[in-house]
Structure 1
Amino acid sequence: MDGVTQDGDSVSRRHDGAQRSTSVIAYQPALDGVRALAVAAVLLFHAEVAGFGGGYLGVSVFFTLSGFLITSLLAAEVDTKGSVRLGAFYARRARRLLPASVLLVVLVMVASVTTDWFEGVTDLRAHIVGSLLQVANWVFLLGGGSYQELLQQAAGAASPLEHYWSLAIEEQFYWLWPVAFVGIWKLGRTMRGRLWLLGAVTAVFVVAAPVTAAVWGSDAAYWASPARAAEILLGAFLALAIAGRTVPSGWWVLAPIALTVLLVCIVVFPTSGGPAYAGWLPAIGVASSALLLGLQAASPVRTALSVSPLVWLGKVSYGVYLFHWPIFVVLNSDRVGVDGPLLFVLRIAVTLGVAQVSFTFFEQPIRRASSVGIRPTMGYAAAATVAVIVAAVVVVPGADSDYWSTSDEVTEAAALEIDDTPLLADPASDPASTGPA
């Protein structure tokens, strides 16, 4: 889901006067395995499979993994090149994330005009604009709904873009974090100083999560960016803490312990309410960080998470997350005529097929188009975003402009009242009339 890939290129790192050594932000198959388990938990949750009421915690795992990978790449770049090329970073993120994201929004917009699949979603225009502007979480929060209500809605009234809230939080992080990281790197001067600064920032957002829940409520605790930032920053802190260092082999035990804790939480956390809506999600970030730390050392868990099926699912996890929810909304029991396990299998099969096609023929070719410069990349991204927003405003009705149908009140007000009184008098019935009518 996070769209962060692991670059297998070797990089050279130097730390605080230490001898330069060749280190590698190596491709770690086990991290793709973590992605696979996380997206599987989300799929099982959205499919309402019994025993996975806390499957939404897979999103938290993605957040922490994103912070870890992005910060690892930034630390390597600034340490070897002396600075972070912000333009190049944003261009890479745009090529990786925007194509499939914009494509799905366009498909949803076309379906909303040509079918009745989303006719009950009165705020679809706002959802489209919020998704494209990467502020969907705030749109949903200010819209007055709640994430718990997502699975309680009839399929025809569920927004096909509801899941963009998590993508928005990550994209906001991608915009802000590189600049903040450069500031921390310069102000900290030494690795210890940088860790203290990042630790302090992380601690502030850890506290912000329960405070947000207490002051602004459970919806804000789940959707508001400041309440979820700690989960990402915990991964970032871990990346900076182990940058250029070898993790002791004995720390592998953290992986099975953390994985067990996460699986237990996924099973026991309630769908509505509970710790996740009370500001305790940073604790899930701690468990996810422990898992990532344990996977830096060889272990049976790392081997198990590196098996080919999990690695494959992890590689296409962004597309799986992106396409699964609108597919789930469209393929309901009324439309396809099946229910239960058969419906689940159908939804998963279609989701995996669409994700693989998107990954192979759409996402990867654009992502690998590194010959396209920074300015053209960002220019194309901005132009595509603006064009789809304009199209959405023109063709998709807003919440207060249901112009696909006419209400009874409007029809009654516009109707002509008629009675039996003739518009012209009958001359034969009027003795006073002597001329032609």
Structure 2
Amino acid sequence: MFYLWPIHALPGLLRDAAVSLCDAIRDAFRAQVYPLGYVPSHDGMRGLMTLGVVTAHVSHTLVPGAVLYIDLFFVASAYYITGLLLRDIDKHGEIRFRQFYARRFARIVPPLLLMLAAYLLFTWLLRPPFLPALERAAIALGYIANYWYVFDPRTIEDIGHTWTLSTEEQFYLLWPLTFALLVKRFGVTWRLVGAICAIAAAIWAWRVSLVLGGAEWRRLYTAFDTRADALMAGCAMAVVLRLVPQGAYPKLDRLWPKLAWPLLLYWGTVTFVFWAADGPSMNYYLFGSMVCGVLPGILVLTMLARSHGTILHRIFEMPVAIFLGRIFYGIYLWHLPILNFLDSYGLWWPLRLLVGLPLSIIAATLSYALLERHFLRRKSQASPARAAIPPNTTAIPVPVGASRFRPEPIGNPELGFASRQASQPDGASTPARHRSMAGR
């Protein structure tokens, strides 16, 4: 009996540990400050869509339309970031850059460092050589993986999904200053929306010119200068929702719940039925990204924030979906190294999914409960505004008139990430896996 006791006690110990971890994550979220308002369905949406991305990286034919989730993630990320900048303008009359970048650092860097450390350790112990892995980690940590992927995809292939982190980071570096200058020039008005849309149109036109010039898909897909139109769309969405507060147009408020079923049918069919199984063609880069991904993404994000009780709310507000949404960044960070590690041992693709997905969720849960929540707690403690602006705060002042609109709770889609690498069931080589999901 002495030797059997640990075996019988193990399920209970594992259950208690899982409950403790889930409670830690829930408590961390309750302790955070959501200046834009917390929308649970946004969490659930990104959690379920992250599962779609992970599945597509095992076999892209299972979720062929997962490529459009990347556009939606970019829209959601830019929407949230611009909302935070608007919050600063409303409360302080200026954007406080130091606090903004401190929040971004606390959210992004610690879990990335943990994943890279684990990746290097496993490579050193189980998958030498070590130096190429160290080079990949340096590229990812330098946030240049998106352009590195364009010119030398094999170097970064093991953790090629970090190209999206690079695109996001470059957006974080450029957009706050750009937005401050635009607000200083136009104020928080419809002219500001027009200026942001003009930037998005210019980026779209640049991508079209590259397509017509014969650029290959990597140049079009992973580079910041060809993907930022989706980010600009999210920025414009945040300003529009600020200018059109809920309740200002009752007919519009009554319209949003009616869009739930059409949007559900659209995303379901475009994900599993209508999207080409061999990846997007060049039409995706010409107009498909904006028409099929960005604009429907804006509609679903707005509908979820401006209504309640619809079929989409019931789906995305399931406890499991919300939990996955809270740790989606960790799932995204960990899934591709785990899948590639399993692939290197020739594991059959259904087993890679059945083993890799739970391992990714476990790693993300541990990362959040043991590491991320401590940094998020510090971020939350620094979030409430003070009556006076602290001295030595780096900021760009904006017109007083820019802050006359009260901030509307428009949700909290944190970072949105997606990946590009994909494994095929036939065990194709890594470059072929890249090509299968990205298209020509």
TM-score by length of 1: 0.72
Q: Is the 8 A contact 2:146 2:163 kept in 1?
A: yes
Q: Measure the CA separation in 2 of the matches of 1:111 and 1:138.
A: 26
Which structure ranks higher in relative contact order (CA pairs < 8 Å, sequence separation ≥ 6)? Answer: 2
5+ long unaligned stretches in structure 2:
1-28, 247-251, 384-389, 391-440
- Aligned-pair distance for 1:227? 1.0
Change in Cα spacing, 1:59 to 1:95, as seen in structure 2 (3 Å) is: same
Aligned twin of 2:289: 281
Aligned twin of 1:195: 193
Greater radius of gyration (CA): 1
Q: Is the 8 A contact 1:258 1:288 kept in 2?
A: no
Aligned twin of 2:430: none
Q: Given the alignment of the two structures, is residue 365 of structure 1 paired with residue 364 of structure 2, yes or no?
A: no
Aligned twin of 2:424: none
Secondary structure of the equivalent of 1:323?
helix
Note the alpha carbon deviations across 1:130-189, whole angstroms, 9 max, x for none. Answer: 2111110111111156xxxxxxxxxxx983311001111111111111111111111113
Q: Is the 8 A contact 1:212 1:279 kept in 2?
A: no
Q: Is the 8 A contact 2:60 2:277 kept in 1?
A: no
Aligned twin of 1:168: 166
- Within-5 A mapping of 1:104-183: 104-116=115-127, 119=129, 124-143=133-152, 159-183=157-181
Q: Given the alignment of the two structures, is residue 269 of structure 1 paired with residue 276 of structure 2, yes or no?
A: yes
Aligned twin of 1:241: 240
Change in Cα spacing, 1:202 to 1:225, as seen in structure 2 (3 Å) is: same
Aligned twin of 2:218: 219
- Aligned-pair distance for 1:97? 0.3
Q: Given the alignment of the two structures, is residue 54 of structure 1 paired with residue 65 of structure 2, yes or no?
A: yes
Note the alpha carbon deviations across 1:295-347, whole angstroms, 9 max, x for none. Answer: 12223322321111110000000000000000101123836xx6353432111
Alignment RMSD? 2.8
Amino acid at match of 1:104: M
**Which of 102, 108, 114 is the aligned partner of 1:97?**
108
Q: Measure the CA separation in 2 of the matches of 1:111 and 1:102.
A: 14
Secondary structure of the equivalent of 1:368?
helix
Q: Measure the CA separation in 1 of the matches of 2:132 and 2:280.
A: 25
Secondary structure of the equivalent of 1:27?
coil
**Which of 347, 355, 365 is the aligned partner of 1:356?**
365
Secondary structure of the equivalent of 1:160?
helix
Q: Which range is displaced more, 161-170 or 53-62?
A: 53-62
Change in Cα spacing, 1:372 to 1:67, as seen in structure 2 (3 Å) is: closer
Secondary structure of the equivalent of 1:84?
strand
Q: Measure the CA separation in 2 of the matches of 1:234 and 1:304.
A: 25
Q: Given the alignment of the two structures, is residue 301 of structure 1 paired with residue 299 of structure 2, yes or no?
A: no
Q: Measure the CA separation in 2 of the matches of 1:26 and 1:214.
A: 43
Note the alpha carbon deviations across 1:391-429, whole angstroms, 9 max, x for none. Answer: xxxxxxxxxxxxxxxxxxxxxxxxxxxxxxxxxxxxxxx
Amino acid at match of 2:233: L
Q: Measure the CA separation in 2 of the matches of 1:270 and 1:42.
A: 14
Q: Is the 8 A contact 2:58 2:352 kept in 1?
A: no
Q: Measure the CA separation in 1 of the matches of 2:359 and 2:376.
A: 24
- Aligned-pair distance for 1:236? 1.2
Secondary structure of the equivalent of 2:102?
helix
- Aligned-pair distance for 1:6? 11
Change in Cα spacing, 1:124 to 1:140, as seen in structure 2 (3 Å) is: farther
Note the alpha carbon deviations across 1:209-250, whole angstroms, 9 max, x for none. Answer: 322333322211111111111111111111110116116131
- Aligned-pair distance for 1:273? 4.2
Aligned twin of 1:63: 74
Q: Is the 8 A contact 1:36 1:317 kept in 2?
A: yes
TM-score by length of 2: 0.71
Amino acid at match of 2:211: A
- Within-5 A mapping of 1:64-79: 64-79=75-90
Q: Measure the CA separation in 1 of the matches of 2:313 and 2:53.
A: 22
Change in Cα spacing, 1:101 to 1:86, as seen in structure 2 (3 Å) is: same
Secondary structure of the equivalent of 1:161?
helix
Identical counterparts, % of pairs? 22
- Aligned-pair distance for 1:96? 0.6
Higher helix share: 2
Q: Is the 8 A contact 2:327 2:365 kept in 1?
A: yes
Q: Measure the CA separation in 2 of the matches of 1:37 and 1:292.
A: 14
Q: Measure the CA separation in 2 of the matches of 1:248 and 1:297.
A: 7
Change in Cα spacing, 1:10 to 1:60, as seen in structure 2 (3 Å) is: closer
Q: Measure the CA separation in 2 of the matches of 1:212 and 1:331.
A: 37
Q: Given the alignment of the two structures, is residue 292 of structure 1 paired with residue 301 of structure 2, yes or no?
A: yes
- Within-5 A mapping of 1:250-261: 250-261=255-266
Amino acid at match of 1:280: G
Q: How many pairs does the alignment contain?
A: 342
**Which of 356, 359, 373 is the aligned partner of 1:347?**
356
Q: Is the 8 A contact 1:210 1:280 kept in 2?
A: no
